[in-house]
Structure 1
Amino acid sequence: MAGVTISDRQLVAVLRPFVRATGPVLDVLRESDPLGLRARAAEAAARGAEPEELAHLRPTVRRRLLNGLASLRVPGTPAWERMTPAQRERWWVGRVGRFTALLTAIPGLGGALAQRFPVQSAVGAASQGVLLCAIAGEYGMTSHSDRVRLLAWVLFGRSVPHELAAGTDPAHDQAGEDANTADLTEELRGAQRDRGRVTLKAVAVTLWRLGRSLQAFGDELDNRPRGRLWHRMLGMIPVLGMFAGYLGERSALKRAVKMARRYRQQQAGGGHHPRDTP
């Protein structure tokens, strides 16, 4: 919708399903335990015993492994519970942010050709949106309406009314929102149904679906935090564009996080100040 002004109602109609769909994605990223060690260690600790898989190891090696699991800073571990919101924020940006930035940068293989289409910008905005929702949760911002208003402000420079963001407006289409949310999370549900677990591929496809849902905003996506000018210039070169795109998305995500921090501070202080791009 290049050149067309997007109303607050249209913006919220897309962002509410988006925010709702990030819930299952973040659950997967939080609970991911590829080797199963974290889950088995937690189960064994609850029984007051050690994981059977470690029983054959020498006591010193076993103790080191258990201490390593206890100090592992990932969601669901004791070490995570001891972390401050700021430390958890850095974890999301440093660990998960690398994965989303890499996925966003893939279209950069096409260089200038990829720049002609909004795919990379849309997936980049989706990646930022997912991470911003994750970080918002660490600071107690758990309601859909709060997260919708956060994304509207950071990604699009818009301050939307509470009533619209909460979905309590009389003209709100709840059935349409439910259908859109189901469409966005279809890959996750399919993987869970067919494999009994959510795969990395399912998460990647869902992120692309989230990006596709934002493509309707066209030029509005240019308002999102972006990388430096040199990132975008190098992004015009085939193959090298992917590397530049990765660095650009990492830079953009850090900018988005700073803006989200400013937004929370403004909300806490009761202020409504203009959005300044860092």
Structure 2
Amino acid sequence: MAEPISDRQVAAVLRPFVRATGPTLDALRHADPLGLVARAAGGDGDGDVLAKVEPRLRDRVLDGLSRMKVPGTAAWAGMAPAERAEWWVGRVGRVTSLVTAIPGLGGALADRLPLQDTLGAASQGLVLCALAGERGVTEVGDRVRLLAWVLFERDIDPEVASGRTGAVDAAAEDAETERLTEELSASSRRHGRVTLKAFGRTLWRLGRSLLSVTDELEKRPTGRLYHRALGMLPVVGMVGDYLGERSALKRVARRADRWFAEQAAASP
């Protein structure tokens, strides 16, 4: 019989995961492939796609862009934390849930593999770190505690979560963080931005990094019973898994709200 996974082991896996979500979320938060958000925010606009557009039409387009509720715009700056959280769960959640649901094409066979849970947990962890950022929770240890509490039902000691216990291999943790984000770095060097392909591969790497705590992944929030039943069917199982992951993300967000509230109440 395998020994139970300790809080120290969970924290050791989650720390590089959390650190790697930083550049991953930055890529999503600042994604502006046409330079439109930058222009709307007051950039110089040299060579951007609107440079040759008739001035009045250009002004209308830029005014519309500034009103879009996406990271980097004036509208985003004026949104409350709860509104930004809803954006992350809705917009980003659709992408990550779709990637997570792809194994559902195999029906029950795919559900027997850890693939669904690893990708699902990676997606949920990514969104949780985004929500933490909107709440001003920036410390790695605090985010590790958030992920452990929401996904694995563990209340990890702050000292253990932060890695300040003296038993942490800092060099190995740095190397693992770099490995998890190397697709993002390569894409930025090659294309000047992070491509969707690089994001997908990074999500896959994040998921695989959690395989050493596979038993814990079964505790993460999942879809309803009818989602799981539909997910057992070949081909249409992808639909059931997608809807299930979307439902699970909403439950993740609600649990995160409770954690944030408890931490605020406990603060002096």
Asked if 1:135 is matched to 2:134, the reply is: no
Q: How many residues align?
A: 266
CA contact (8 A) 1:98 1:250 kept: yes
2:161 to 156, 162, 165: 165
CA distance in structure 1 between the partners assigned to 2:221 and 2:6 by the alignment: 20
2:212 to 210, 216, 227: 216
1:57 to 54, 59, 68: 54
Alignment partner, residue 25 of structure 2: 26
Alignment partner, residue 98 of structure 1: 94
When structure 1 is superposed on structure 2, of 123-132 and 159-168 the one drifting more is 159-168
Alignment partner, residue 201 of structure 1: 197
Q: Which runs of 5+ in 2 are unaligned?
A: none
How far did 1:173 drift? Answer: 1.3
Please state whether the residue corresponding to 2:209 is helix, strand or coil: helix
Alignment partner, residue 276 of structure 1: none
Please state whether the residue corresponding to 1:62 is helix, strand or coil: helix
Alignment partner, residue 5 of structure 1: 4
| Superposition CA RMSD, Å | 1.9
Asked if 1:228 is matched to 2:227, the reply is: no
When structure 1 is superposed on structure 2, of 139-148 and 167-176 the one drifting more is 167-176
CA contact (8 A) 1:105 1:120 kept: yes
CA distance in structure 2 between the partners assigned to 1:33 and 1:89 by the alignment: 20
1:77 to 51, 69, 73: 73
Please state whether the residue corresponding to 2:127 is helix, strand or coil: helix
CA contact (8 A) 2:41 2:66 kept: no
Call closer, same or farther: CA 1:52–1:172 in 2, change over 3 Å.
closer
Q: Please report the TM-score for the alignment, with normalisation by the length of structure 2.
A: 0.94
Please state whether the residue corresponding to 1:185 is helix, strand or coil: helix
Alignment partner, residue 16 of structure 2: 17
Alignment partner, residue 145 of structure 2: 149
CA distance in structure 2 between the partners assigned to 1:78 and 1:252 by the alignment: 31
Alignment partner, residue 263 of structure 1: 259
How big is each residue's C-alpha offset from its partner over 1:14-46, in whole Å with a ceiling of 9 and x where there is no partner?
0000000000000000010122211233344x6
CA contact (8 A) 2:41 2:74 kept: no
How far did 1:63 drift? Answer: 3.5
CA distance in structure 2 between the partners assigned to 1:247 and 1:52 by the alignment: 37
Q: Which runs of 5+ in 1 are unaligned?
A: 272-278
Call closer, same or farther: CA 1:143–1:106 in 2, change over 3 Å.
same
CA distance in structure 1 between the partners assigned to 2:62 and 2:97 by the alignment: 32
Asked if 1:245 is matched to 2:244, the reply is: no
How far did 1:54 drift? Answer: 5.2
How far did 1:3 drift? Answer: 5.4
CA distance in structure 1 between the partners assigned to 2:187 and 2:119 by the alignment: 21
Give the partner amino acid of 2:215: D
Alignment partner, residue 275 of structure 1: none
When structure 1 is superposed on structure 2, of 83-92 and 176-185 the one drifting more is 176-185
Q: Please report the TM-score for the alignment, with normalisation by the length of structure 1.
A: 0.91
CA distance in structure 2 between the partners assigned to 1:115 and 1:43 by the alignment: 48
CA distance in structure 2 between the partners assigned to 1:32 and 1:170 by the alignment: 38
Give the partner amino acid of 1:189: S
Asked if 1:41 is matched to 2:37, the reply is: no
How big is each residue's C-alpha offset from its partner over 1:230-258, in whole Å with a ceiling of 9 and x where there is no partner?
11111111111111111000000000000
CA distance in structure 2 between the partners assigned to 1:24 and 1:254 by the alignment: 24
CA distance in structure 2 between the partners assigned to 1:24 and 1:4 by the alignment: 34
Give the partner amino acid of 2:250: K
CA contact (8 A) 1:119 1:215 kept: no
CA contact (8 A) 2:50 2:58 kept: no
Please state whether the residue corresponding to 1:223 is helix, strand or coil: coil
How far did 1:130 drift? Answer: 0.3
Please state whether the residue corresponding to 1:140 is helix, strand or coil: coil
How far did 1:85 drift? Answer: 0.2
Give the partner amino acid of 1:99: V
How far did 1:197 drift? Answer: 2.1
CA distance in structure 1 between the partners assigned to 2:58 and 2:189 by the alignment: 36
